[in-house]
Amino acid sequence: MHIPRHHFGTAYNRLKRSSSSTVPSVLILTSLDVDSLCACRMFTRLLKADYIPHKLHPVAGYQDLAKANKEFITNNADLRFLVLLGVGGLIDIAEFLELKKGVECWVIESRRPWNLQNIFAGAGGEGFTLVGRDGNVSEEGGVVCWDDGDISDFLKPEQDAYKRLIEMQAEVGDIEDWNSGDEEDDEDEEFAENRRRNGFGVNTEDTPSSTNSRKRRSSSDDEEEDDEEEEGYSDDDRRRRKRIHSGSSTPDSSPHAYSHLMHIHGPGTTTTTAGTNTTLTVPTTAPTSAPSLRSQRKHFLQLRRKHNKTLTDYYATGSTYGEPISSLVYSLASELGREDNDLLWLAIIGWEGQQMYGRHMHSFSGDQTLNSLSARSIGVWGVLRDEVRRLNPPSITGGSGPVTSNTSLFTRAATAEDYSLRLSPEFRFMMIRHWSLYDSMLHSPYLASKLHLWSEHGRKRLHKLLATMGMSLQQCNQKYVYMDMDLKKGLRDKLDVYKARYGLEEIVREGVVRCWGWNGCLSAGDVAVVVGCLLEVGKGGRAKKSEFSASKSGKTGITEAEAIDEAARLEDAEVQESIVNFQAAYDAIEDIESLKTSLPLAMSLHRSILSTGTALIEKRQIKHLRAYRLAVVKEGPDVATFTHPSALTKLALWLAEAIREQELEKGVGKKKGLPLVVAALNESRGCYVIVGTGVGNVEGWNLEGRKVYDKPAKTKKPEKEKKQKKKKDDDDDDLGDDDEEEEEELSDSDDDSDDDDEENSGRKVLGRNRFGIAFQEVANETSARVRIDSFEACVVEVRKEDLGGFLEGLSMKSIVG
């Protein structure tokens, strides 16, 4: 079931009344990302304020979640509430965890698409009641998903289709295999008997009536009928629907084959869901003409295929993101009247963390545009900004308060007791308060894409920009806090003058800064960068640990069984390392000294991103395949750094934005909009970590949902002109060379994809990432050894020897949607 935002407080009050005061009856499982960490900090603060005993356990993936189920859930007789932060929204969590009766599971998740079994199996929505009429707590428990507005506003068609399938299942039972002509007489009798047994008359709302006359139908007639009803479906749709109907796509029960696309267990194949109250209206009068049971059965099959297609299309749109869960927890605190600067600061860090990894808010709508999608994300930021102003009013005496500076950045507190939050203009540079101005600009992903800082020519443009603004390199290479005061105060004015010349219109944005007295000031973006780095590489760095593991695992003469055991041991060691990193980040996020100590580590990570991205582009190692671009990181000093999916995601976004800016400048037409796949070699475990970015799926929009150019009208060009344009593109493109035939095929496929989107997609989902679906399909169709364990749908691990076959299979998938 699901609950709207204004019921969050009611749900928490129920937890408060029902939880035990002597034993931990609340268990919190959280994923290892910045947003979930902030939400976890906020939620545990609320529990501690109410003296509610609880346990907290971070989980690294689905395999770790299964272990936590056995250790903390299955045999825990005291457990009453299970809170999942950033976990479980994509799978049927009740089935995965085998929740016992009386355990209530809260799913607070920003990843999309929702698993419909979680949100529609049971009561919920606006009529949701958390407390019984007698005032006692219900003993049934179940799954409760927190709705940020996506479910109530955008999933009405899916909800209707889901409920109709449940009603049809309850009415006639399983009619999926009733297509054999040799057994039709018996099946028609069973069809009628099932309807009578379930309390339905001969006539229904959808199939008006029936008659006793039956006609035999051959299996060939059934096949013709199915073919007619499947007209308009693509080959991928037919294969996907067959997998869903047959259940053949059920993930392997092996601990290394957990699937995030659990819609294969959806309502199209499951039996009637327990606890779901469904009714079907029966007309009071029967029509005069009565079709045969064969016609009724055909109509039922048509309706079921229609509703199944609605659900299949919903899952096939790909991965998107909703509101950050830290913002949802802050909404809970606001409803309880407990909002303060500490909780607000954590919510803002969570929001910044989502932006840092490209997880921008998107949703579904019939005539949705990216302007409205972007406005939704801006609306969340507007609420947080207003909260900063409300909780930090300006001081009458001129002391602490959210005074906004229009000239220079805040770098120091007003007084020793200044712990307030302040709205401040933030340059789109990397940790400028703690780095030199030059290094901060050089390692900024925004400036790297705009000025092409991976090339010598791009760095000369940066030097020219600084010289034009009258800033010497000697001053710019000093730490920002030690720069000349006049230069710092005039930096924004000078950027406003020259930003248009270099295409830096959005070089300044609004941010939030917090001071800890004389101990220092940090922006929310800086904290998100540092906390993310602690989660990815830990306090000691990842390279040394990986080299040590590789030296131990590089043994010769071992058997296959020993190699498997060694790989499993290294895998467990990485999971434990991730949990240790989470604990370090959890402690550091509100400790100014720990954050300051970790700043050099964050700087080192972004140096690695710049150097690795520069090497990939300069060495022309980004290859153009049929459906995507591919970059493989398998050598160099920073390979071990990118074995963590989040660090690899940062590199992928850096590369994708660089490619996008090059395309916009050159007006490349044929390779425009291709998504990017980046793979990094984990030598110690003998596998590749692969991340797919859906950046190229939204043509004409950058990573943050802003429009950067208008899509030209399609015109048919003469063949000669096409070849001339093709030759020019290949000469100018510095990312790699392409075969002429492959380019023509790619151009045609892109045009077809665009046409299909314009003609057939009534409810477009913009900003989606379809790599999760493609990864799962390739894993099912090839012999490649694949491990899908991450909560992020676009992350997969492939054995080193199977990378070629996996990428070949992936190139045949429809990724650009």
In a domain, 292, yes or no: yes
* H runs (alpha helix) in 667-770: 719-732, 740-760
With vertex at residue 517, the alpha carbon angle to CA 512 and CA 521, rounded to the nearest 5 degrees, is 35
In a domain? residue 517: no
Encoding tokens for residue 404?
Answer: 């906004």
Q: End of a domain among 269, 289, 316?
A: 316
Q: How many Å apart are CA 124 and CA 460, to the nearest integer?
A: 59
Q: Is the peptide bond before 113 cis (omega within 30 degrees of 0)?
A: yes
Structure tokens at 414: 């007003």
Distance set, CA 793 to CA 61, 112, 797 (Å): 11, 9, 12
Q: Are 145 and 119 in contact (CB under 8 A)?
A: yes
Query: Could you tell me if 136 and 172 lie in one domain?
Result: no
Residues 178 and 111 in one domain: no
Q: For residues 76 and 164, state if they share a domain.
A: no
Residues 111 and 183 in one domain: no
Domains in the chain, number: 3
- Three-state secondary structure string covering 225-238: HHHHHCCCCCHHHH
Instruction: Tokens for 645, please give them.
Output: 């999916």
CB-facing half-sphere around the CA of 205: CA atoms within 13 A: 9
Distance between CA atoms of residues 162 and 306, nearest Å:
11
Same domain, yes or no: 137 and 48: yes
In a domain, 357, yes or no: no
Q: 512 in helix, strand or coil? A: strand
Residues 613 and 582 in one domain: yes
> Is-contact 715 721, C-beta < 8 A?
no
Which element (helix H / strand E) includes 804? Answer: helix 803-810
Rounded distance between C-alpha atoms, residue 601 and residue 309, angstroms: 49
Per the domain annotation, does 622 fall within a domain? yes
Residue 79 and residue 184 share a domain: no
Q: Is 681 helix (H, G, I), strand (E, B) or coil?
A: strand
> Both 125 and 175 in a single domain?
no
Looking at the structure, tell me whether residues 129 and 193 fall in a common domain: no
Is residue 239 included in any domain, yes or no? yes
The CATH number assigned to the domain holding 53 equals: 3.40.50
pTM of the model: 0.78
Give the separation between CA 809 and CA 161, rounded to whole angstroms. 32
Minimal CA–CA distance to 809: which of 643, 626, 675?
626
- Cα–Cα distance, 620 to 367 (Å, whole number): 40
d(CA 410, CA 414): 10
- 425 beta partners: 510
Residue 494 burial (CB count, 10 A): 16
Same structural domain, 137 and 188: no
Helix (H) or strand (E) holding 684: none
The angle at the Cα of 238, spanning 233 to 242, to the nearest 5 degrees, equals 150
Element (H, E) at 295: helix 293-316
Cα separation, 31 vs 461, whole angstroms: 41
Domain membership of residue 784 (yes or no) is yes
Task: Write down which residue in 275, 297, 330 finishes a domain.
Answer: 330
Do residues 119 and 163 share a domain?
no
Token code pair at residue 372: 């409205």
pLDDT reported for residue 187:
53
Of 272, 307, 330, the residue at which a domain comes to its end is 330
* Residues composing the chain: 817
Amino acid sitting at position 252: D
Please give the Cα distance from 596 to 516 (Å, whole number).
12
Q: Which domain holds residue 720?
A: 543-810
181 belongs to a structural domain: yes
Report mean pLDDT in 10-residue bins for the chain, 817 residues.
92 92 93 96 96 95 94 91 95 90 93 93 54 41 90 91 89 58 51 56 40 40 46 46 38 34 34 35 46 81 92 89 95 95 96 90 47 66 94 66 56 84 91 94 93 92 93 92 90 91 90 90 94 90 49 52 72 86 94 93 94 93 89 91 93 91 69 83 92 59 38 45 46 39 36 39 56 91 91 93 92 73
Q: How far apart are CA 606 and CA 602, in angstroms?
A: 6
Distance CA 29, CA 107 (A): 10
Is residue 137, in this structure, part of any structural domain at all?
yes
Among 682, 692, 703, CA closest to 777:
692
Question: Are 143 and 174 in a shared domain?
Answer: no
CA distances from 256 to 111, 193, 262, 319, 571 (A): 22, 44, 15, 22, 11
- For residues 756 and 774, what is the distance between their CA atoms, to the nearest angstrom? 18
